[in-house]
Structure 1
Amino acid sequence: MGLQNAMITKISKAEIRTTHVTGLITDIGIEIGKGLYWNRGSFSDGSGYVRANRARLSLLGSLLGMFVLGGFAGAISFSHIGFLATLPLASLLLMLTLVPLFDDISAIRRRARS
């Protein structure tokens, strides 16, 4: 979970929280609330109308759906295969983290040279 959260946080520049599903549900609730908000008249502070970010809502909904789907798939595969079912997925996640890791190492080396 920590590797996943670190990777998603780095990719999204800390816009999306994924470690706890409650963070996703909170963000979904905020966007739905913005979508249901009734904008009346003009705002005195000049901030404009409240609008939901539909693209973000779609992304958050798909992440939540993937958590649910992954939970079911993990439970079923673990019940049939056991602990070995986790190894391919953990290996894939580890490989996905190598690119940002090497990017960070390169950036540190560049800063040390200058």
Structure 2
Amino acid sequence: MAMSTLASDATGLSYYLAASYQFNDWFTLGAYYSTYFPDKDDKDGEKLVAAGLPDHNAWEKDVAVTLRFDLSEYWVFKIEGHAMDGTANVLTQDNPDTDWSESDWYYGVAKITFGF
């Protein structure tokens, strides 16, 4: 369960903008920005603060940069870096020891894909 919204009937709001540019046959640079609010009527987290929860559980904003390398016709290697603001999608089950005091966080991922 995400520790983000108090009302089970809340209506969420999300959107994103993405762009990429393929420099050549094997390299593509991409970026995107996404925003998620689990309760469109509490974008600043006032309801959560009133309930004793951190305000940053009311949103999650993600700025990402991606590097894609097409190694061959079948193999793709991709690296992503993310700068996050907010914890609306962070699960308490995956983070049982957190004190929920930080709203800004970062992560990176790498993957290799075989397509056929």
Would you call these one fold, judging by a TM-score over 0.5?
no
Which structure carries more strand by proportion?
Answer: 2
Q: What TM-score results when the alignment is normalised by the length of structure 1? A: 0.20
Q: Give me the TM-score of the superposition, normalised by structure 2.
A: 0.20
User: Which protein is bigger by CA-based radius of gyration?
Assistant: 1
Instruction: Report the structure, 1 or 2, having the larger helix content.
Output: 1
